[in-house]
Amino acid sequence: MQIHIDVLVFPGVEFSGQDKYDSKDYKKMDIGQIALLFAVGIAAGFINVNAGGGSSISVPVLIFMGLDAAVANGTNRVAILIQNISAVAASHKKKFHDYKMSLKFSLFTLPGSIIGAVAATRVSNILFQRILGVVLIFIVVSMFFSRSYRDLDIRQDTRPNWFIYPALLGIGFYGGFLQVGVGFLFMAALYHLLSISLVKVNMHKVFIILIYTIPALRNFITTRNVLWEYGLALAAGTACGGWWGAHVSVKGGEKAIRFILATAIIIMALKLFGLY
């Protein structure tokens, strides 16, 4: 017997802007789709903890499940928000945080994030998929030709470089527009421009992403580009995958994970370009 869950998208709520669905639209999720999204979330959460780039899997999968590109983009933000709430809470519990500095950095990403999220809801479905495909290819190239940050030496804190602020603005726009691979950009900017330890880099990164995701997600919600049931199923898997990734060491380490991730990304990029 096949089980279906009828989902009304934002019933009784007024929205502005160009709507992807009207008030009569429903999305049906069967148990197979729930299981698939949960599994994809586990993979994305595990990859985010051990290598980074989990959204490079979750966003294309949502598109392949039939969601409009903007809806897939917005729905993925639900998992991103929950994942980073968990990460910030974990840092707080360990009493490892610098909220004043993290918030300062976050504020520079907010204008770019809002503009990027608005732009993401206005581009055509095909154009967004082509942009995503190009980004996925660049991520694969960066995996094989850039040195892992885990292999770099820990640096001592020095005076911040003012270039970090326009960099954060630009990364904020990218994060609001696409999100895929934004963690790599934050790590590069914070490590190279601020010359701080990688532990602190990650501490600031998860807080920044949490803060700028809030207005970005709000824009996707108000333009009716979020399917909560899809997002929550994905988020549940992401939470489990993140916990698993934090407690399990993989034979072959980060290199093995990156190879598997790169293979999956290439397959999805080719699909986005319509090559098969």
Helix, strand, or coil (residue 91): helix
Quick check: 65 and 197 in contact, CB under 8 A? no
pLDDT tens profile 182-239: 988 888 888 888 888 777 888 898 899 999 999 999 999 999 999 999 999 999 999 8
pLDDT tens profile 96-106: 889 999 999 99
DSSP conformation class of 7: E
| pLDDT of amino acid 2 | 42
- Examine residue 176 and state whether it is found in any structural domain, yes or no: yes
Identify which of 41, 48, 95 has the alpha carbon closest to the alpha carbon of residue 206: 48
The predicted model gives 47-73 an average pLDDT of 87
What is the Cα–Cα distance from 208 to 84, expressed in whole angstroms? 9
Domains of the chain: total = 1
Half-sphere exposure of 30 (CA within 13 A, CB side): 5
- Examine residue 201 and state whether it is found in any structural domain, yes or no: yes
- Examine residue 21 and state whether it is found in any structural domain, yes or no: no
Quick check: 80 and 230 in contact, CB under 8 A? no
Structural domain boundaries, residue 203: 30-272
Sign of CA dihedral 136, 142, 144, 150: negative
- Examine residue 9 and state whether it is found in any structural domain, yes or no: no
Quick check: 55 and 80 in contact, CB under 8 A? yes
pTM equals 0.81
- Examine residue 194 and state whether it is found in any structural domain, yes or no: yes
- Per-residue confidence at 261, pLDDT binned at 50, 70, 90? confident
How long, in residues, is the chain? 276
The predicted model gives 21-40 an average pLDDT of 73
- Examine residue 18 and state whether it is found in any structural domain, yes or no: no
- Examine residue 162 and state whether it is found in any structural domain, yes or no: yes
Identify which of 273, 52, 78 has the alpha carbon closest to the alpha carbon of residue 180: 52
- Examine residue 202 and state whether it is found in any structural domain, yes or no: yes
pLDDT tens profile 77-94: 999 999 889 888 888 888
DSSP conformation class of 275: -
